[in-house]
Amino acid sequence: MDEFLILSLPPMVIASLAAVACALPGNFLVLSRRAMLGDAMSHVVLPGIVVAFLLTGSGNGWVMGAGALAAAGLSALLIEVVTRRARMEPGAAMAVVFTAMFALGVVLLEMTGTSGIHLDVEHALYGNLETLIWLPGPPPELARLALIAAGLALALRLVWRPLVLATFDPVFAQTMGIPVAWLRAGLTAATALAAVAAFQAVGSILTISMLICPAAAARLLTTRLPMQVAVSLGFAVASAVLGYVLAGYAPLWLGLPYTVSASGMIATVSGLMLVGAALTASHRARARL
């Protein structure tokens, strides 16, 4: 038990930081009805990572992160082009772009030698959270995610008032001289940065769930935005810790002969919290009626 907790501390901290980094922009994605963007960003980083490795031959986290960020920026541009030129609904444009780019990433993984850097389809989906133990020193993902989470929190604090106004009433914000388009682009960049940072450690499944589930659950339980953000961060950290512990112990408790993916279990717990919030919110609504 003690040994498990000692070895589990770094992965739980990394999962919590990834969850926080994703939940911060996720709140505004949910409010602006752009939740599909989180799904898109968590998928499109895969070909960027593969191409960065093929071009440089390096598996360094910063190199692959730069490739992933470039792919995320390209996907945002493609979504905008498809939306305007094809006059397609934004959600449909996101679906077209992220499925095509994720499929491209999978094909590149299968056709190239990137498996030599411990990156394959399973790694892309589930991440490598279980291997990020504190031996012989702290894993590089820890500092990277801590820096990005802190940076996103600071950026959100600096643009809080104009971002809130642009999210709830973009037309009025435009008349007030607020650069709505730039704020929207900044939110896209923040989502891409969070997705890139989280993807390498926890994979696309957990990244998607953390971008949406904590924020959506918090939105069901409160009508005040500052409280929503605080509650979403609480949900994010709680699901990361509880999910990791359940992944380690649930198979033993149930007598199962196999292990459970930590990222998959964390995403499951996050989804169950959303279901619980939805049920609680529906009961509150009936009580008011």
Name residues whose C-beta falls within 8 Å of residue 126's C-beta, 6 or more positions apart in sequence. 203, 205, 206, 261, 263, 264
Please report the sign of the dihedral spanned by the C-alpha atoms of residue 18, residue 19, residue 24, residue 26. positive
Q: How many CB atoms lie within 10 A of CB 152?
A: 21
Is residue 144 assigned to a domain? no
Residue 153 domain flag: no
- How many other C-beta atoms can be found within 10 angstroms of the C-beta atom of residue 123? 17
> Is 148 among the domain residues?
no
205 falls within a domain? yes
pLDDT tens digits, 139-167: 777 888 889 899 999 999 998 999 888 88
Give pLDDT, residue 130.
Answer: 64
Tell whether 287 is covered by a domain. no
Q: What is the pLDDT of residue 289?
A: 38
Look at residue 289 and tell me if it is in a domain. Answer: no
The total of structural domains in the chain comes to: 1
User: For the segment 15-69, what is each residue's pLDDT rounded down to a tens digit?
Assistant: 899 899 989 998 998 888 877 777 777 777 778 877 887 787 766 667 777 787 7
pLDDT of amino acid 233? 94
pLDDT reported for residue 134: 64
CATH number at residue 203: 1.10.3470.10
Specify the pLDDT at position 124.
57
**Which residue reads 């994979």 in tokens?**
203
The full DSSP string for 7-24 is HHHHHHHHHHHHHHHHHH
In Å, the largest CA–CA distance within the chain is 62
**Domain span at 35:** 2-133+161-280
pLDDT for residue 2: 54
Do 192 and 8 touch, CB atoms closer than 8 A? no
pLDDT of residue 111: 76
* pLDDT in 10s for each residue of the chain, 289 residues: 455 566 667 788 888 998 999 899 989 988 888 777 777 777 777 788 778 877 877 666 677 777 877 887 788 778 778 877 777 777 777 778 878 888 888 788 777 765 555 555 555 555 666 666 666 667 777 888 889 899 999 999 998 999 888 888 888 888 888 888 888 878 888 887 888 777 767 777 778 888 889 999 999 988 888 999 999 999 999 999 898 888 877 766 666 666 777 888 888 899 999 999 988 876 554 444 3
3-state secondary structure of 222: coil
In the prediction, which pLDDT does 3 show? 58
Q: Is pTM, for the whole model, over 0.85? A: no
Residue 29 resides in a domain: yes
Residue 169 located in a structural domain: yes
